[in-house]
């Protein structure tokens, strides 16, 4: 047991950092997590944990609890933006894609709470209100100055510090992100305000010219999660917390179906952010220090895989660290197992908008007809296109590449 009794510092108590903390603590490591937030909370929004991510929850004995907290997705429906007519329905019940683990729709706060309480049960020390102001990676240890005037040094540091990772900056100089020409709004709507809501446990994607709207239910259907994406030239900052006037959202989708318009008409707290493409990190580790999740590979949200990749990373990293007494070899094996897969996912997520946003009406009509036909005559083949993604189970053993 290579990690048993070892002291490990994790920077960031997000989904990736907490999953890594649980996976390592279960193998006997002494884990400290440093988090800048004064309390463990998450923004009010939904998150999809797909079977490849929930496989890790299964291996961490969290699947039962996850199933209780989240809704299991029954189907994804692609719909036309105008009347909302269904174009393609993909049934996503359990045991699809050769992976028996569920496809779950979580409220983010519930997911983070589940992970944080599991980490604490396993003896993880989560230190809140610890804003790290820099990461210095030395030959055999990393130093983290903290804004409260203290400093932490560690022989093993895992940077799970998200999109603007200081740990990644300490390992390599990343190029600037590129604006995709897309912005996204997010909102949560209580479903009692939307009497036309009739899609239990179904995620819908309404596709229009240069725009799409994703909706899915949360917390037993009490809430509806809405993400609306629009192509535009003007630049909006990246980040989750920029409030916007709901009228802007309503105006942008005023020609969408009555269901979408009704949903947007009752959105009150609306956030807007710009979507940027970031390169996957070239280097994932240096001496004592390694990165995971968004710190290593931020992705666009169009395949719902950012958190799932972070969860997969966490498992693989813990497994490789436990397998080898040579930290460098363990980090290299982790990077090697993960890099091709995350590159493929990041590229596939970027490609999905092209399908959702077809601008030319005739091309869109044709593409929608082709999707509709494929869904009716060969639904298994359409679903099978995602086997590589959802069917992957990193917990199946170290030979999983
Ligand atoms: C609209 C939207 C929808 C999405 N939907 C999905 C989805 O359905 N499924 C999915 O898989 N993914 C989804 N994602 C992506 C997903 O949210 C991220 O990929 C995921 O949260 C990354 O997890 P992480 O742990 O790597 O980073 P983060 O969640 O960003 O966590 C990083 C943590 O580090 C802390 N931190 C950072 N810097 C410091 C510092 N200097 N000092 C101390 N603490 C620090 C932060 O406070 C934070 O808690 C979505 C993203 C967006 C924007």
What pLDDT, in 10s, does the model give residues 356-368?
A: 666 666 666 666 7
What pLDDT, in 10s, does the model give residues 272-314?
A: 999 999 999 999 999 999 999 999 999 998 899 999 999 999 9
Would you say the CB of residue 44 lies under 6 angstroms from ligand 1? no
Name which residue sits closest to atom 49 of ligand 1, judged by CA. 14
Distance 281 CA to ligand 1 centre (A): 16
- Say yes or no to pLDDT of 401 above 50: no
How far apart, in whole angstroms, are the C-alpha atoms of residue 21 and residue 116?
9
Would you say the CB of residue 293 lies under 6 angstroms from ligand 1? yes
What per-residue confidence (pLDDT) applies to 54? 97
Beta-strand relationship, 285-286 and 289-291: antiparallel
What pLDDT, in 10s, does the model give residues 208-261?
A: 888 999 999 999 999 999 999 999 887 777 777 788 999 999 999 999 999 899
Picking from 375, 226, 360, the residue whose alpha carbon sits closest to that of residue 301 is 226
Ligand 1 pocket: which of 294, 308, 338 to mutate (most atoms <8 Å of CB)?
294
Would you say the CB of residue 294 lies under 6 angstroms from ligand 1? yes
What pLDDT, in 10s, does the model give residues 58-117?
A: 999 999 999 999 999 998 888 989 888 888 888 887 556 778 899 999 999 999 999 999
Phi first, then psi, for residue 152 (nearest 5°) are -120, 135
Counting beta carbons within 10 angstroms of the beta carbon of residue 213, is it exposed (0 to 12), middle (13 to 18) or buried (19 or more)? buried
Name which residue sits closest to atom 19 of ligand 1, judged by CA. 306
Ligand 1 pocket: which of 236, 307, 312 to mutate (most atoms <8 Å of CB)?
307
């Amino acid at each position: 047991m290579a990690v048993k009794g070892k002291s490990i510092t994790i920077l960031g108590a997000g989904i990736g950092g907490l999953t890594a903390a649980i996976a390592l603590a279960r193998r006997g490591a002494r884990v400290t997590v440093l988090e800048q937030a004064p309390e463990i909370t998450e923004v009010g929004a939904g998150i999809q944990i797909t079977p490849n991510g929930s496989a890790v929850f299964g291996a961490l004995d969290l699947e039962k609890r996850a199933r209780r907290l989240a809704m299991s997705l029954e189907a994804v429906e692609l719909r036309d933006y105008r009347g909302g007519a269904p174009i393609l329905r993909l049934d996503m019940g359990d045991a699809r894609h050769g992976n028996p683990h569920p496809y779950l729709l979580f409220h983010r706060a519930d997911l983070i709470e589940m992970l944080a309480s599991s980490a604490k049960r396993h003896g993880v020390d989560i230190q809140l209100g610890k804003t790290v102001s820099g990461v210095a990676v030395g030959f055999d240890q990393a130093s983290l100055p903290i804004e409260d005037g203290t400093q932490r040094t560690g022989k093993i540091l895992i940077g799970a510090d998200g999109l603007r990772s200081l740990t990644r900056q300490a390992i390599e100089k990343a190029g600037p992100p590129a604006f995709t020409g897309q912005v996204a709004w997010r909102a949560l709507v209580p479903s009692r305000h939307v009497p036309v809501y009739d899609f239990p446990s179904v995620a819908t994607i309404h596709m229009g010219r240069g725009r799409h709207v994703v909706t899915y239910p949360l917390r037993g259907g009490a809430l509806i999660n809405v993400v609306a994406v629009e192509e535009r030239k003007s630049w909006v900052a990246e980040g989750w917390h920029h409030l916007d006037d709901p009228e802007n959202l309503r105006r942008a989708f005023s020609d969408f179906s009555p269901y979408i318009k009704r949903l947007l008409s009752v959105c009150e707290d609306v956030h807007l952010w710009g979507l940027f493409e970031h390169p996957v990190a070239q280097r994932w580790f240096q001496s004592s220090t390694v990165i995971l999740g968004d710190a290593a590979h931020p992705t666009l949200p169009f395949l719902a895989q950012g958190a799932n990749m972070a969860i997969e990373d966490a498992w693989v990293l813990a497994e490789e660290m436990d397998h080898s007494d040579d930290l460098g070899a363990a980090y290299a094996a982790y990077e090697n197992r993960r890099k091709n897969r995350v590159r493929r996912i990041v590229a596939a997520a970027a490609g999905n908008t092209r399908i959702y946003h077809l601008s030319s009406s005739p091309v869109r009509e044709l593409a929608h007809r082709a999707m509709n036909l494929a869904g009716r005559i060969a639904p298994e083949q359409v679903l099978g296109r995602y086997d590589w993604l959802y069917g992957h189970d990193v917990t199946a053993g170290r030979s999983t590449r």
